[in-house]
Structure 1
Amino acid sequence: MELKQLTTFPFIFFLLMLVKISKKSRSTHSSSPLPPGPFKLPLLGHLHNLLGGLPHHKLKDLAKIHGPIMYLKLGETSAVVISSPGVAKQMMKTHDLMFVDRPFNLAANIMTYGSKDVIMAPYGEYWRQLRKICVLELLSAKKVQSLWSVRDEEVSHLIGRISLVTGSQMNLSESIFSLTNDITARAAFGKTFKDKEAFLSETKELIILGSGFSIADLFPSMKFLEVISGIKVKIETIHQKINMMLVDIINEHKEKRMKIGNIEGEVIDEDLVDVLLRIQEGGELEFPITMDSVKAVTLDMFMAGTDTSSTVLKWTFAELLRNPRVMIKAQAEVRLHFNGKKKIDQADINELNYLKLVIKESLRLHPPTPLLVPRECRETCEIEGYKIPKGSKVLVNAWAMGRDPENWKDPESFEPERFQDLSIDFKGTNFKYIPFGAGRRICPGILFGIANVELPLALLLYHFDWKLANGAKPEQLDMTEVFGSVVRLKQNLHVIPTSYSPS
């Protein structure tokens, strides 16, 4: 009996291998090849190729070898990496509908109440409805303009605080982060809200936990990894705390709306939560907005608004400190336009053409999300003659495209003037420059984010001259990156401000 089992097992194994080879052979003959990629290990796939460096750097290096469209096996998951404008255009414009979904992500799913937000919601009527609300109500040009006084007040407070420490060393990075926190919090929740510091602390921790590669996402069939890694419990614990605070915030807004509604002629000065509650109470939507939807969208806007704006502002200031020629030129423009004015408005900001070029150049070199928020292939299709399997995660390396010498002259240099005669904006129409994405899934908060960079940058340049602390020279500034939900400057900007007095 034992001998029979031993002789039978190899035979069964041989048959299984024949079936597997037969299936593979049939699929190979019936479809295009997968995109090229590096050597693959059993079980791990290509994960070893991403070790020892930042993901967007490692993927750029691999693309130099294997080409602008590359196939990687990351654990059990399939990924296609795009590193050229031409291929990105096919994926995000020509075949946009085929790549409009988001892949499942454990942390994001918990954070967004089961993907009920606008960033992670699956493509469909619910997502279209939410995006329409964001574009027309929450983040429209009119709404962003209405928040001018909020930005102006918060930036004025920052200028006042810096004025008290002129001539001394300060941590500009912390000041910028606090500023964008305060602006976004007021836009989302109003002038004051209970437990503000606790909310900021918990959301910061949530962003850190949810921003890395999770082993559970790379091996989705092995559910025990969610437990072993501890990531699920950690995120759920913090999210529960944030949820309780959001419930309190929403209830406070409901009470305020009821009180004001009972006073004839009284008008609500709407923040983001008020807008969502008004739309919810209207009851005219095809897909009613639940309280989880309100919380998910609110958390979306708060975390994305704070993280993105502060990151862009820090990188831009770092580049100005490292490039004194550009700093002097930007200051000259701001001081020429603002000189003698007691009050600055949006029209004044719109005249700062060079400042806008500086921000564009900063975003070319430092897109806040260098690997754009991943997309997922909805059906097996063909791009550039290669098969893209259904369910593949698609990673677009916007950072690599912004530094590609085939697209940009002297790509590593900080030269805002390169945009002087280029009709390139943030709207994702030119695929060599897509810091906020492109197509249907382009970031809906571009106007809000840029507004939160332009005014602070302009006034910081107007009111102060700047130099690095400890006698450091511009070329000594550490520009090392840290990878996360956004790519941050690793070291804080320690600077010495000096007050500027108009002659």
Structure 2
Amino acid sequence: MDLLVLMLGLCLSWGLLQALLYIANRGKSGNVGKLPPGPRPLPVIGNLLELGSLPHRSLAKLASVYGPIMSLKLGCITTVVVSSAPMAREILQTHDVSFSNRLTPDSLTPFRYHEHALPWVPVSPLWRNLRRICNVHLFASSTLDSSQHIRRRKIQELLSHVGKCSETGSSVNIGEAGFTTTLNLLGNTIVSMDLADPTSESAKEFKELVWQIMVEVGKPNLADYFPVLKRVDPQGARRRMTGYFRRLFDVFQGIIKSRLQAREVTGSVRKNDVLDTLLELSMEEFQIKHLFFDLFVAGTDTTSSTLEWAMAELLRNPEKLSKAQAELENVIGSGKPVEETDIARLPYLQATVKEIFRMHPAIPLLLPRRAGATTQVGGYTIPEGSQILVNVWAICRDPATWKDPDEFIPERFLGLDIDVKGQNFELLPFGGGRRICPGMPLAIRMLHLMLGSLLNSFDWKLEDGVSPGTMKMGDKFGITLQKAQSLRAVPLPRNSH
């Protein structure tokens, strides 16, 4: 308790000092420009209490009052939130250069992660090199086409696991099954090995570790809003993240060391995976570990949670589920495996995935950006050093853009020329501009494959006692958005009723 009081005292003292300095400097410099409107901040803490446990929803509610561009004071940090497609275009396209760098959470500083990780490193020669490696060697269409056999094998393992559950009449935890499949797909693509056994606890443990990381990065941390507190880490966020980093880095280091030893013994024997590519490019070991962290952490949780939302929405809307299965049956044949080449012939499946991206974007506030220079946006001034949040969740539910925005209606995308590749600012699940997610091409392939395969190979029913009308569809916020209550569904042999 004494420590808590001390921390609160430090927080209040620092906040008061910053407020006085701000007032003094404003008086010296005259007009500093008109900030976007926003709620009146409280002394010292500003608008921190307004965020709540679901900040994407809290900020969307505030935007309905203050408009599509608004400002808040989060401790000492001026934060600008944009909540409409036109404002997102201003940030991500028109002024992309000014807003292309990050405001890095203190919890991401262990092992100098923020200085080497693609999502967080400033735009620089290092960033360009990492981006080029992803675009050319990891996620290029030709590279993904050559690794289709890996995804085909992992999908078959998923269907085998679900089939065993169907035989015993047991339910499937959709999020965990999707996570295991995605983790092993990435494991085989990156290091030519499974990292989780679907029948063991290893995938669950890895999933919990990834979610702990997402929660830690996503929750408010006093050290981010009052920089003087970074030295003491009052909430222990950096200390906990140091442990999470160490656990993952130890796994990656063991894999890299084993590969290097095998090369020394047998010569340069290639497995034609990502690790071989990075070693051939002479990337240093610590850089490889940071890139692996990005690929495994960002690639697993986002994909599996999106799959879980998709199955939940379809089970809650049986008529939409029937439409999706009917298309698969007509185009491919009931029970047959779905191939990547089939996706282009499945417009309703594509529309369903887009609707899930719209309703449940994996990173609802994207990653925070930092104003590199004082910039005019929408008639307002965004001061240099401000934090910029793009509320994709609010944009995707904007009634000015979307009719019945809270309803699951895949049909809205049929015949609509709109995609998720960063050019249509009303639908930005992967972000936009130069910071758009490099793993988007693989994520899109995986989601269509997993969802289409689960729907075409099995019929589904909710567990006893749960009906479409009583399903709980609440969400929980880390830096990503997950379903608050895990979806469990019982697979049935296709076309059995």
**Same fold (TM > 0.5):** yes
Corresponding residue of 2:26:
24
1:365-404 maps to which residues of 2 (within 5 A)?
Answer: 365-404=359-398
Partner of 2:12: none
SS of residue matched to 1:246? helix
Residues 206/370 of structure 1: CA separation in 2 closer, same or farther (3 Å cut): closer
CA shift at 1:209, angstroms? 3.1
> 1:372 touches 1:437 (CA, 8 Å); kept in 2?
yes
Match of 2:254 among 248, 273, 294: 248
Deviation per residue, 1:402-458 (Å, 9 max, x gap): 001101111111111111122111111111111110000011110111111111111
Which of 233, 256, 270 is equivalent to 2:239? 233
Which shifted more, 106-115 or 381-390? 106-115
* Alignment partner of 1:425 is 2:411: no
Counterpart pick for 1:218 among 225, 233, 247: 225
Measured in 2, the distance between the counterparts of 1:274 and 1:349 equals 30
Q: One-letter code of the match for 2:127? A: W
Gaps of 5+ in 1: 1-16, 281-288
The CA distance in 1 between the partners of 2:122 and 2:442, in whole Å, is 24
Residues 30-71 of structure 1 show CA distances to partners (whole Å, capped at 9, x for unaligned) of x421111101111101112123x4100000111111111111
- Tell me, in whole angstroms, the C-alpha distance in 2 between the residues paired with 1:320 and 1:194: 28
1:237 to partner: Cα distance: 2.4
Aligned length: 471
Distance 2:344 2:266 in 1: 36
Structure 1 residue 171 and structure 2 residue 177: aligned? Answer: no
Map Cα deviations across residues 149-200 of structure 1 (whole Å, 9 max, x no partner). 2222122112112222223333223222222222122222212469976766
Q: Aligned equivalents of 1:63 and 1:43: distance in 2?
A: 22
Q: Which moved more, 1:240-249 or 1:253-262?
A: 253-262
The answer for the alignment partner of 1:283 in structure 2 is none
2:302–2:362 contact (8 Å) kept in structure 1: yes
Q: Which residue pairs with 1:320 in the alignment?
A: 314
Provide the aligned C-alpha RMSD in A.
Answer: 2.4
Picking from 180, 183, 186, the partner of 2:185 is: 183
- 2:376 is paired with a residue whose SS is strand
**In 2, Cα distance between equivalents of 1:236 and 1:374:** 21
> Equivalent residue for 1:6?
none
What corresponds to 2:446 in structure 1? 452
SS in 2 for 1:71: strand
Alpha-carbon distance in 2 for matches of 1:200, 1:65: 38
User: What secondary structure does 1:186 align onto?
Assistant: helix
Q: Which amino acid is the alignment partner of residue 350 of structure 1?
A: A
CA distance in 2, matches of 1:97, 1:441: 10
Q: 2:277 aligns with which of 269, 275, 279?
A: 275
Distance 1:164 1:223, change over 3 A: closer
AA aligned opposite 2:33: S
User: Residue 253 of structure 1: CA displacement?
Assistant: 2.0
State the distance in 2 between where 1:97 and 1:33 align.
21
For each residue in 1:180-223, what CA deviation from the matched residue of structure 2 results, as whole angstroms up to 9, or x when unmatched?
A: 22212222221246997676664454344333222211111223
Q: Paired residue for 1:127?
A: 127
Contact preservation (8 Å) 2:63, 2:69:
yes
Query: Are 2:440 and 1:438 equivalent residues in the alignment?
Result: no
* Structure 1 range deviating more: 249-258 or 204-213: 204-213
What are the residue-to-residue correspondences of 1:326-341 with 2, within 5 Å? 326-339=320-333
Q: Structure 2 vs 1, CA of residues 342 and 435 (structure 1 numbering), >3 Å: closer, same or farther? A: closer
Pair 194,431 (structure 1): closer, same or farther in 2 beyond 3 Å: closer
CA deviation after TM superposition for structure 1 residue 324, in Å: 0.9
- Which whole-Å CA distance do the structure 2 matches of 1:112 and 1:328 have between them? 49
Distance 2:94 2:68 in 1: 17
Which amino acid in structure 2 is aligned with residue 118 of structure 1?
A: L
8 Å CA contact retained: 2:105, 2:217: no
Identity %: 36
Q: Secondary structure at the match of 1:72?
A: strand
1:199·1:242 contact (CA, 8 Å) conserved in 2?
A: no
State the match for 2:3 in structure 1: none
- Partners of 1:203 and 1:242 within 8 A in 2: no
Task: Give the C-alpha shift of residue 342 in structure 1.
Answer: 6.1
Whether the 8 Å contact between 1:139 and 1:445 is mirrored in structure 2 is yes
Q: CA deviation at 1:380?
A: 1.1
Aligned counterparts of 2:416 and 2:435: Cα–Cα separation in 1? 24
Quote the residue 1:50 is aligned against. Answer: 51
Q: Assess, with a 3 A threshold, how the Cα gap between structure 1 residues 318 and 20 changes in structure 2: closer, same or farther.
A: closer
Partner Cα separation in structure 1 for residue 470 and residue 338 of structure 2: 35
Q: Tell me the secondary structure at the aligned position of residue 482 of structure 1.
A: strand
Specify whether residues 71 and 200 from structure 1 end up closer, same or farther in structure 2 by C-alpha distance, changes over 3 A only: closer
Greater shift, 340-349 or 61-70, is seen at: 340-349
SS in 2 for 1:93: helix
CA distance in 2, matches of 1:475, 1:194: 35
> Taking structure 1 as the reference length, what is the TM-score of the superposition?
0.88
In structure 1, how many angstroms separate the alpha carbons of the residues matched to 2:113 and 2:59? 31
Counterpart of 1:171, as a letter, is N
Q: Render the CA deviation track for 1:382-417: whole Å, top value 9, x for unaligned.
A: 111211111111000000010011011111111111
Q: Deviations over 1:71-130 (max 9, x none)?
A: 111111111101111111111111100000011212223266343021111111111111
Q: CA deviation at 1:28?
A: 4.1
TM-score (normalised: structure 2):
0.89
Specify the alignment match of 1:61 in structure 2: 61
Q: 1:457 to 1:111 in 2, by over 3 A?
A: farther
Go from structure 1 to structure 2 and tell me whether the alpha carbon gap of 1:127 and 1:58 turns closer, same or farther (over 3 Å shift). same
Cα-to-partner distance string for 1:205-252 (whole Å, 9 max, x where unaligned)? 4344333222211111223441x3222222212322322221111112
User: Could you list the per-position Cα deviations for residues 353-378 of structure 1 after superposition, in whole angstroms to 9, with x for gaps in the alignment?
Assistant: 11011000010000000101111000
Q: Say whether the 8 Å CA contact 2:340–2:445 is kept in structure 1.
A: no
Aligned to 2:470: 476
Distance between the aligned counterparts of 1:277 and 1:192, measured in 2? Answer: 20
* Partners of 1:20 and 1:320 in 2: CA distance: 52
SS in 2 for 1:132: helix
Matched AA of 1:37? G
Q: What are the residue-to-residue correspondences of 1:154-165 with 2, within 5 Å?
A: 154-165=154-165
SS of the equivalent of 1:465 reads: strand
